[in-house]
Structure 1
Amino acid sequence: MRVLIVDDSALMRRWLKECLSSEPDMDCAVARDGQDALAKIAGFDPDVVTLDINMPVMDGLSCLARIMEDTPRPVVMVSSLTEAGALATFEALELGAVDFIAKPGGTVSQNLRTIFPDLVAKVRAAAGARRRVRKPALALAGAGADRAPIRPRAAAPRPAPRPVRRADAASCDLVLIGASTGGPSAVEEVLLRLGPDFPVPIVLAQHMPKRFTKVFAERLSRQGSLPVIEVSRTTELMPGTAYMAQGDADVQISRRGAQLVAGPVPADGRFAWTPSVDRMVASALDVVPADRLVAVLLTGMGDDGAASMSQVRAGGGRTIAQSEETCAVFGMPRALIEAGGANRVVDIDRIAATLIRFVGG
């Protein structure tokens, strides 16, 4: 596997190359900025690119847009743990990046080692996603390395949410959604097709750091009509609202009397991913009958959510797995399907409509 590491910091390039080159099947090259990266891609033809966002000469977003336009291939963004870094990362995902990894704070030589296992896993997952990379329609803004960062054209208007039955007629009490690699665009595709008249609450766990879940929830709320709230404290769950697990923690569903609530809890080492989909679903099964739950497992590496969502189906609940053809990485949905836990396997653009049918009656 050939990996091109793009970063303007010589120290970051050295440490990232040391990490990935320690894998016997990874052959690594480096580039110092976006312009250098485009030249290296032509000769090195990497299977995966890791791409810094903030660089001189040509920044990461401009470089990514050129890659997706000229020579599409999997790209993993390397982002700073800042609000600006998070915003730029979601722009990168819209442009076609498969995933991202956040740079740790503090001393580079010490703290970078903490992300090495995750970096290796995400590069491998991105390589597996290569055949599903799509060339997006981009609004190219001139030529040359000094042009402004390129943005995608405005998306076509989404269909209006279908009317659904009122909450007292809903056939379930709660919808649960889990996602990992490639999840932000998939979550967006589902939630933006739903409206505030959706008759039950939605709780979702997307594997990402705390800074990013806050920005992601705010971004989704601005773009759609369904409010999206990060669960930073114990919160009552209301119909027509989506609740996003806070990064670097898990979300636990419980009851206060008859009222369903969700709250953040410290990550548990028994669960490999955070926020944990399995822990979220297991907590819901403790307080809601399985046949009153609908659970959705979207794109992502690993198997988080497969075991608990299989229990939902076994108890009479309904479950949806995203189809392989529309996943960035088919790990989590595949695990659910192979466990016999999926009622339906659905393309991403049909999941919202399937949810409406499942919830409405």
Structure 2
Amino acid sequence: MIRVLVVDDSALMRRFLGRIFEAEADFEVASAKDGLEALDLIGRFRPHVVTLDVEMPNLGGLECLDRIMVEHPCPVVMVSGLTQRGAEATLRALDMGAVDFIVKPQGTISLHAEELAPLIVERVRAAAATTIRRSRRLAERLKFRAGSQPPRPQPSRRRKATPLAPAGRPADSLVLVGVSTGGPPALDAVLSTLPHDFGWPVLIAQHMPASFTGPLSRRLDRLCALDVTEVTRPTVIAAGTVYIGKGDADLVISRRGGELVALPAPSDPGHRWHPSVDRLVRTALDHVPAENLIGLLMTGMGNDGAAAMTALRAAGGHTIAEAESTAVVWGMPGELVGLGGATDVVPLPEIGQRLKDISPWH
């Protein structure tokens, strides 16, 4: 049985989520109305996964998450609204150790139950199967057990620099990144290691709602030496820039006037997740020689991107799959490995260096 603790100050949301999980034969459900009650219950109920509202009275979602990750480390799925404030708090939560997030239904909750229930169950079940690495926030856990309070995490800041295109880089060359569950911290880990003169444009399909990808791009722009921007209109692809696909749409590559262009396109119903990694890679192959493409598939549920990156490798491109040892969910990269489409299988902390190693013009 999967023990899930539902934490939300709204009785309506507690009932909504509780009924979804109770309808599944393999879930046992408990609930709490705020962070204080959750912390009191978590030690006794010992949940396999917690769904945690972002905004609550008494002890808010971020403060509760901070204490869960130190005192009782377990997988946490944030429950967020579609506001910018909710998106920014959710991204902060993912950085602090939350595994995933689900978006609160808008309007009348009951009207969305049939549509949302399978997705919510899938994501929470996947989160329950993840392992919180024992090394994460070890110092804070030791201090807690010794009786002292853990420090609050502080945002990192980096000085921006003007991106440069290295001499000798092929005119058309791209890094194509696909990522889903656990993606924002993984993107931070990779992009923060790339210097301002890396030179390759990086295009990212991160499965997210539209209201989240703008805050994600701004957050990564603050943390990385490269410029990071959300693609909201047709944009000429420039060296040394990172392009985040707009959520609820697809990021595609085209050519206009001889120049490569990244543009948002209406989501293709033939793909389940958006922005679609498969569609990004296949449109890149339509306009760029495969040998000038690097595909990177990181943590995420499902198989989006695996088939397209396998085709990329077969055509002469280079592909990297995140190793199972570091992926929050080894779905997408695992599928790539299973298809024989991964040139390299690399743990997350080494991916940035691997990108630099296979870029001889860097």
TM beyond 0.5: yes
Q: Which residue of 1 aligns with 2:90?
A: 89
Counterpart check, 1:220 vs 2:220: yes
CA gap 1:249/1:123 in 2 versus in 1, 3 angstroms: same
Q: Which residue of 2 aligns with 1:356?
A: 356
Q: Which residue of 1 aligns with 2:43?
A: 42
Q: Which residue of 2 aligns with 1:245?
A: 245
CA gap 1:151/1:118 in 2 versus in 1, 3 angstroms: farther
Mapped to 2, the partners of 1:123 and 1:179 lie a distance apart of 18
CA contact (8 A) 1:174 1:292 kept: yes
Q: Which residue of 2 aligns with 1:173?
A: 173
CA gap 1:107/1:215 in 2 versus in 1, 3 angstroms: same
Matches within 5 A, 1:285-324: 285-324=285-324
Matches within 5 A, 1:108-257: 108-130=109-131, 132=133, 134-136=135-137, 151-153=152-154, 166-170=166-170, 173-257=173-257
Deviations 1:53-73 (A, max 9, x none): 111111111111111101100
- TM, length-normalised to structure 1: 0.92
SS at match of 2:188: helix
Mapped to 2, the partners of 1:210 and 1:250 lie a distance apart of 11
Mapped to 1, the partners of 2:3 and 2:89 lie a distance apart of 26
Q: Which residue of 2 aligns with 1:80?
A: 81
Mapped to 1, the partners of 2:138 and 2:196 lie a distance apart of 30
CA contact (8 A) 2:73 2:132 kept: no
CA contact (8 A) 2:164 2:196 kept: no
Counterpart check, 1:104 vs 2:102: no
Deviations 1:192-236 (A, max 9, x none): 111331222110000011111000001111122211110111111
Shift of 1:84: 0.7
Give the stretch that moved more between structures: 220-229 or 193-202.
193-202
Unaligned runs of 5+ in 2: none
Mapped to 2, the partners of 1:153 and 1:88 lie a distance apart of 14
Shift of 1:276: 0.6
Alignment-mate amino acid for residue 310 of structure 1: T
Q: Which residue of 1 aligns with 2:333?
A: 333
Shift of 1:39: 1.4
CA contact (8 A) 2:165 2:200 kept: no
**CA RMSD, 1 decimal:** 2.5
Alignment-mate amino acid for residue 231 of structure 2: V
Mapped to 2, the partners of 1:54 and 1:253 lie a distance apart of 38
CA gap 1:276/1:171 in 2 versus in 1, 3 angstroms: same
- TM, length-normalised to structure 2: 0.91
CA gap 1:248/1:167 in 2 versus in 1, 3 angstroms: farther
Alignment-mate amino acid for residue 216 of structure 1: L
CA contact (8 A) 2:3 2:46 kept: yes
CA contact (8 A) 1:166 1:197 kept: yes
Shift of 1:124: 1.3
Mapped to 1, the partners of 2:151 and 2:51 lie a distance apart of 18
Shift of 1:359: 2.2
Deviations 1:8-27 (A, max 9, x none): 00000000011111111111
SS at match of 2:358: helix
Q: Which residue of 1 aligns with 2:29?
A: 28
SS at match of 1:328: coil
Deviations 1:254-277 (A, max 9, x none): 111321101111111111111110
Mapped to 2, the partners of 1:91 and 1:220 lie a distance apart of 12
CA contact (8 A) 1:73 1:133 kept: no
CA gap 1:328/1:274 in 2 versus in 1, 3 angstroms: same
SS at match of 2:359: helix
Counterpart check, 1:60 vs 2:61: yes
Mapped to 1, the partners of 2:236 and 2:105 lie a distance apart of 33
Count matched residues. 353
CA contact (8 A) 2:309 2:341 kept: yes
SS at match of 1:336: helix
